[in-house]
């Protein structure tokens, strides 16, 4: 109901982007010949025949009577408009030629000239400007030549010369037709450009959304799956020798999987109802202690130094996911069972540093290999940076710098 009220109360949707029939014309140009304008051509042909018939009564005795050849010229001229979208240059030249023959034969003036106008409009809009200009210019020049000189030898007999004023009026109409056609062509190109830009922006938003979803799901699952992987290995190894410890490992797996399911459900709920508020707050550095506890269940001791400042939601989530992924990589790929998380900040940036003492184990814990790329994408989305690499004294270091203020605020 709200959408209907908006449509009724405001301007039509095509006001800024062109009317629907204009887009259908563009589709016809993209797939020529798929839909010929049968109905409009038939109606136009009937209009030309009826209009010329009435015009002939008013010009009786001044122009030649309309015979079979004249009717054939009218039918051919109007019928060529059927191909005005597929062969616009040919149609504008053809209608101009048959109209010139019709006029030179002395038949009554009438709406046959409108066929040239329609074909000229179609040719200019389709981009065949030179053909349209040439056809109209040739038609006007031949019309002037016949009206001012050749009328002596052409029907009807006893015809008199036209005045230069009449020819200038015809020239004015020709220029007006070309000008309107050019304006329509420019506007159509603008609409086509706007449509292409909107389509590109839509594709870009869809790509960004897919990347965001992929990053979120990767970050949600990677840490929990790594903990589950480690604890499953511990449980299998101790199942026979130390059942109590194996039970503890299974309890850890249950807790980690439950948390993973909860976060995945939160992401999916956001996707299903993008306009609704999330049911649970997005994770942030305030939950850093939970990461430390989860890492401890995987046998990793994490030392945290420093306290985070008050962060915007987006920065807080990115910082949490970066630390989570860094600790996940330590669990997966490092032989060290000790990691350090250092939090530092000033007025402009938050600095996160995650170190482990190594060495790398080269073991594959089933990860996708996209963790570091995801961290860099998160940091880049906020205007920050990620540096990751081996430390000079061994081990691995992840250093993230996330801005706390925008460039406009800094100025």
**Residue ranges of domains in the chain, CATH in brackets:** 10-162 (no CATH), 201-410 (3.30.565.10)
Q: What is the 3-state secondary structure (H, E, C) of the chain?
A: CHHHHHHHHCCCHHHCCCCHHHHHHHHHHHCCCCCCCHHHHHHHHHHHHHHHHHHHHHCECCECCCCHHHHHHHHHHHHHHHHCCCCHHHHHHHHHHHHHHHHHCCCCCCCCHHHHHHHHHHHHHCCCHHHHHHHHHHHHHHHHHHHHCHHHHCCCCCCCCCCHHHHHHHHHHHHHHHHHHHHHHHHHHHHHHHHHHHHHHHHHHHHHHHHHHHHHHHHHHHHHHHHHHHHHHHHHHHCCCCHHHHHHHHHHHHHHHHHHHHHHHHHHHHHHCCCCCCCCCCCCHHHHHHHHHHHHHCCCEEEEECCCCCCCHHHHHHHHHHHHHHHHHHHHHECCCEEEEEEEECCCEEEEEEEECCCECCCCCCCCCCHHHHHHHHHHHCCCEEEEEECCCCCEEEEEEEECCCHHHHC
User: 188-204: per-residue pLDDT in tens?
Assistant: 999 989 999 988 988 88
Residue 409 clears pLDDT 50, i.e. is over it: no
Token code pair at residue 86: 């597929």
> Tell me, what's the pLDDT at 238?
77
* 358 compared with 319, residue with greater pLDDT: 319
Identify whether the C-beta of residue 223 lies closer than 8 Å to the C-beta of residue 327: yes
Residue 397 CA to residue 390 CA, distance in Å, equals 6
> Tell me, what's the pLDDT at 273?
58
Q: What angle do CA 360, 364, 369 make, to 5 degrees?
A: 95
Residue 1 clears pLDDT 90, i.e. is over it: no
User: 255-304: per-residue pLDDT in tens?
Assistant: 777 777 777 776 676 666 555 545 556 778 888 888 888 788 777 889 99
* 299 compared with 317, residue with greater pLDDT: 317
Residue 216 CA to residue 317 CA, distance in Å, equals 10
Q: What angle do CA 253, 257, 258 make, to 5 degrees?
A: 115
Residue 164 CA to residue 280 CA, distance in Å, equals 83
Rounded mean pLDDT of 361-380?
67
User: 114-143: per-residue pLDDT in tens?
Assistant: 999 999 999 999 999 999 999 999 999 998
Give the orientation angle of helix 164-238 with respect to helix 371-381, to 10 degrees.
Answer: 130
> Tell me, what's the pLDDT at 121?
94
Residue 240 CA to residue 280 CA, distance in Å, equals 41
Rounded mean pLDDT of 361-390?
74
Residue keyed to tokens 């594959």: 364
> Tell me, what's the pLDDT at 35?
55
> Tell me, what's the pLDDT at 161?
82
> Tell me, what's the pLDDT at 274?
57
> Tell me, what's the pLDDT at 88?
94
* 158 compared with 67, residue with greater pLDDT: 67
Token code pair at residue 132: 């349209």
Please choose, from the candidates 126, 129, 96, the residue with its C-alpha nearest in 3D space to the C-alpha of residue 113.
96
> Tell me, what's the pLDDT at 309?
85
Residue 209 CA to residue 365 CA, distance in Å, equals 27
Rounded mean pLDDT of 89-112?
93
Mean pLDDT of the chain: 81
> Tell me, what's the pLDDT at 115?
94
Length of the chain: 411
State whether the Cα torsion 402-406-407-411 is positive or negative: negative
Residue keyed to tokens 């001012």: 148
> Tell me, what's the pLDDT at 98?
96
User: 12-23: per-residue pLDDT in tens?
Assistant: 444 444 555 444
Distance of alpha carbon 119 from its chain centroid, rounded? 32
Token code pair at residue 309: 């400042």
**pLDDT-based confidence at 370, cuts 50/70/90?**
low
* 168 compared with 332, residue with greater pLDDT: 168
> Tell me, what's the pLDDT at 350?
93
Rounded mean pLDDT of 72-91?
94
Residue 49 clears pLDDT 60, i.e. is over it: yes
Identify whether the C-beta of residue 77 lies closer than 8 Å to the C-beta of residue 113: no
Q: What is the 3-state secondary structure (H, E, C) of 171-213?
A: HHHHHHHHHHHHHHHHHHHHHHHHHHHHHHHHHHHHHHHHHHH
> Tell me, what's the pLDDT at 410?
45
Residue 28 clears pLDDT 60, i.e. is over it: no
Strands of 301-305's sheet in order across: 301-305, 338-345, 349-356, 396-403, 385-390
The model's pTM = 0.52
Residue 325 CA to residue 130 CA, distance in Å, equals 63
pLDDT > 90 fraction of the chain, expressed in percent and rounded: 34
pLDDT > 70 fraction of the chain, expressed in percent and rounded: 82
φ, ψ of residue 10 to 5 degrees: the values are -100, -175
Rounded mean pLDDT of 63-73?
92
**pLDDT-based confidence at 369, cuts 50/70/90?**
low
> Tell me, what's the pLDDT at 176?
92
> Tell me, what's the pLDDT at 279?
53
Token code pair at residue 131: 């053909």
Residue 215 clears pLDDT 90, i.e. is over it: no
> Tell me, what's the pLDDT at 275?
52
> Tell me, what's the pLDDT at 276?
53
């Amino acid at each position: 109901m709200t959408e209907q009220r908006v449509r009724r109360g405001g301007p039509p949707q095509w006001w800024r982007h062109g009317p629907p029939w204009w887009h259908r014309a563009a589709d016809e140009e993209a797939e020529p010949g798929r839909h010929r304008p049968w109905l409009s051509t038939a109606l136009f042909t009937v209009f030309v025949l009826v209009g010329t018939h009435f015009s002939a009564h008013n010009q009786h005795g001044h122009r030649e009577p309309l015979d079979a050849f004249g009717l054939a010229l009218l039918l051919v001229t109007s019928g060529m408009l059927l191909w005005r979208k597929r062969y616009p240059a040919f149609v504008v030249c053809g209608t101009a030629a048959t109209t010139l023959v019709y006029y030179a034969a002395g038949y009554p003036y009438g709406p046959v000239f409108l066929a040239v106008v329609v074909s000229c409009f179609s040719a200019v809009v389709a981009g065949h400007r030179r053909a349209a200009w040439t056809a109209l210019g040739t038609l006007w020049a031949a019309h002037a030549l016949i009206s001012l000189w050749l009328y002596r030898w052409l029907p009807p007999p006893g015809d008199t010369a036209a005045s230069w004023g009449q020819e200038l009026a015809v020239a004015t109409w020709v220029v007006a037709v070309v000008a309107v056609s050019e304006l329509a062509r420019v506007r159509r190109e603008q609409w086509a450009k706007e449509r292409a830009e909107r389509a590109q922006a839509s594709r870009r938003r869809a790509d960004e959304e897919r990347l965001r979803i992929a990053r979120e799901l990767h970050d949600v699952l990677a840490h929990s799956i790594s903990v589950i992987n480690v604890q499953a290995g511990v449980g299998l190894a101790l199942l026979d020798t130390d059942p109590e410890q194996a039970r503890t490992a299974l309890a850890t797996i249950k807790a980690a999987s439950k948390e993973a399911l909860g976060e995945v459900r939160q992401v999916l709920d956001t996707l299903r109802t993008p306009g609704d508020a999330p049911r649970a707050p997005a994770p942030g550095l305030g939950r850093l202690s939970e990461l430390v506890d989860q890492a401890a269940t995987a046998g990793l001791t994490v030392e945290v130094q420093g306290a985070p400042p008050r962060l915007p939601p987006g920065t807080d989530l990115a910082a949490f996911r970066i630390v989570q992924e860094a600790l996940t990589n330590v669990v997966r790929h490092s032989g060290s069972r000790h990691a350090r998380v250092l939090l530092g900040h000033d007025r402009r940036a938050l600095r996160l540093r995650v170190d482990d003492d190594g060495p790398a184990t080269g073991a594959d814990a089933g990860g996708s290999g996209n963790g570091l790329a995801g961290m860099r994408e998160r940091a880049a989305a906020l205007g920050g940076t990620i540096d990751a690499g081996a430390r000079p004294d061994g081990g691995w270091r992840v250093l993230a710098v996330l801005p706390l203020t925008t460039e406009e605020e800094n100025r």
